[in-house]
Copies of this chain bind each other. A is one copy, B any other.
Amino acid sequence: MNTLLDHKLKRLTADILATCDADSRTHRIGEMFLPSRSRIVGLLDLLQQLLFPGFFGGKKLTRENTPLFIAHLLVQIADELAEEVYHCFCAHRRCPDCTDTAPCRERAIDLAVQFLEQIPAIRETLAMDAQAAYDGDPAAKSIDEVVYCYPGYYAITVYRIAHALERLAVPLMPRIMSEYAHHGTGTDIHPGAEIGKRFFIDHATGVVIGETTKIGDNVKIYQGVTLGALSFPKDERGRVIKGYKRHPTIENNVTIYANATILGGDTVIGEGATVAGNTFLTQSVTSDSIVASETPKVKVKTRRRKGARPSSE
């Protein structure tokens, strides 16, 4: 590189540093304990190995080596999870003078263990979710196929992890996890949503399940379904108000077909109801309803066939 270039890059370094001084929103300089998105994603991979022993991670497990494998994996996860939980608390507090104190560390370890103690129950729930996918999808050839490759199943797996951490009030980490799953699957389930057993999402892309959604047991939803907010009330200073129930409630045994949109915190889809594809719904429906937007009339015109040039239409 030549001198002129060298000079330009030096000046540019100074310019970028000046923007850091001017605006604190887009840097984290001088904060020592930051969470790492890549380490949190690494944790998800380890957790997947723990939740589905033998399926992922390329290790051949036998009755003999499995206890050691799980014991080791648990120690590794507990250690790394506690470290990242600690960093998430630090980042959340924005404490520039934060010192590495024993009580904070202990609290993080305690939360990591409280989370891990829920793994057996999460495993049970995930077995039921896999069964629901196999039972509900004519294209599913085996439960293995569901566990190995269904994106909706991966999104639900990450949701069940992230939701447990959200309930333990760990900041930042649940959302980093759920957005990682969103990234891979096109399914955006906020970790704050409450979702029952035997949940199945088919095709997955474009599904949005908002923060304050409640979903019962045996619910089946398809690609493109939005369970969203109807409006965003603002405070007297014009800022959206955070935290109130603004997403729908879906009761047990409901099926919602592709691209349906259900909005509003007071909207309740009663037990056993079926919502047809493309339905736009902002009102409650009672149990066992079959709900559909009136299908817009389809108009068919016929084009005159062109003789010589079929490709030029």
Contacts and interface: CB of A to CB of B under 8 A. Distances in A.
Give the number of times this chain occurs in the complex, counting copies. Answer: 3
B78 A5 contact: yes
Contacts of A283: 298
Interface string A74-90: 11001100000000000
A298 B272 contact: no
A143 interface: yes
A3 interface: no
Q: How large is the interface on A (under 10, 10 to 19, 20 to 34, 35 or more residues)?
A: 35 or more
A212 B281 CA distance: 31
Contacts of A8: 113, 117
Interface string A232-245: 10100111111110
Interface in A260-313: 261, 263, 272, 274, 277-281, 283, 285-305, 309-313
A211 to B, nearest CB: 5
A210 interface: yes
A32 B81 CA distance: 30
A165 interface: no
A100 interface: no
A43 interface: no
Contact of A286 (B109, B127, B237, B302): B302
Contact of A53 (B20, B138, B192, B261): B20
A14 to B, nearest CB: 8
Contact of A311 (B58, B210, B238, B244): B238
